[in-house]
Structure 1
Amino acid sequence: MTNKEIIVQVIDAFDTGNSDVITGHMTDDAEWHFLGDQAYIGLETIKKFFNDHKEVKVTSSIKNHIIVDGDTIAVSGEIACTTSKGILCDMYYCDIYEMENFKIKKLISYTVGKKKQSA
């Protein structure tokens, strides 16, 4: 399986809430950085993040670009999620994956909330 094929599986797993597939493609010392917010270091910490956010459900997802440069893959698009309290999160995103031996070593996530259109 190529790095791109792995990341396509990971993207699909994000959309369906399958954290086992996502973390199954990560190294034990993986890092996930939400720029401007916080970082999750180590596979167990990332698994805890998913466990703590089980109620978040993706309601729509569009992938605009998947760009591969060796062991680095960038994915951009749009995503909408809801929480258990019904709060809608509607965002643009760009995720940069750094791969090592066909596993995710580092994930850097950029997100920007969509502005509501004025009438």
Structure 2
Amino acid sequence: MNSTADHKNTLELANAAASRGDYEAFLSYCTDDTKWDFVGEQVLQGKEAVRQYMAETYLEPPQFDVEHMVAEGDMLTAIGKISLKDKQGKTTNYAYCDVWTFRAGKMHELQAFVVSGD
């Protein structure tokens, strides 16, 4: 069983990869059948759906500011801010709370609560 410190490290490495624009490296930290639930918006099922979402949404690499991480068992909650640029180059800042469930050391399920911070 992986420790909560391992889960925190995994998320930090995955976020660093996404911030570099290396989305395939990010996806390597996810299970093949990963499920992302953007609460109240949409649900993505599987790596290919997440890959397509990243291609459409992350026109430039996102910038993460993780303020807190709380882990217990196979769950990790990350609270912070993320900045994304749109097609016109305008940056939008969001506050988020991501609740991850890990399976075999990989990020498996995500419940994402995201609100515009602008």
Q: Which runs of 5+ in 2 are unaligned?
A: none
User: Superposition RMSD on alpha carbons, in Å?
Assistant: 1.8
Q: Partner amino acid for 1:11?
A: N
Residue in 1 that maps onto 2:98:
95
Task: Spell out structure 1 runs of 4+ moving beyond 4 A.
Answer: none
Contact (CA 8 Å) 1:25, 1:103: kept in 2 or not?
yes
Number of corresponding residues: 114
Give 5+ residue unaligned stretches, structure 1. none
Identity of aligned residues (%): 21
Superposed counterparts of 1:1-119, under 5 Å = 2-58=6-62, 60-115=63-118
- Matches of 2:113 and 2:60, distance apart in 1: 18
Distance in 1 between residues matched to 2:33 and 2:19, nearest whole Å: 24
Q: Could you say which structure has the greater relative contact order, defined with CA pairs below 8 angstroms and 6 or more residues apart? A: 2
Following TM superposition, by how much is the alpha carbon of 1:54 offset from its aligned partner in structure 2, in angstroms? Answer: 4.1
**Deviation of residue 9 (structure 1)?**
0.7
**Matched letter for residue 22 of structure 1:** F
Q: Deviations over 1:7-54 (max 9, x none)?
A: 111122233332112211111111011111101001111112122234
TM-score (norm 1): 0.84
CA 1:113–1:54 in 2, change beyond 3 Å: closer, same or farther? Answer: closer
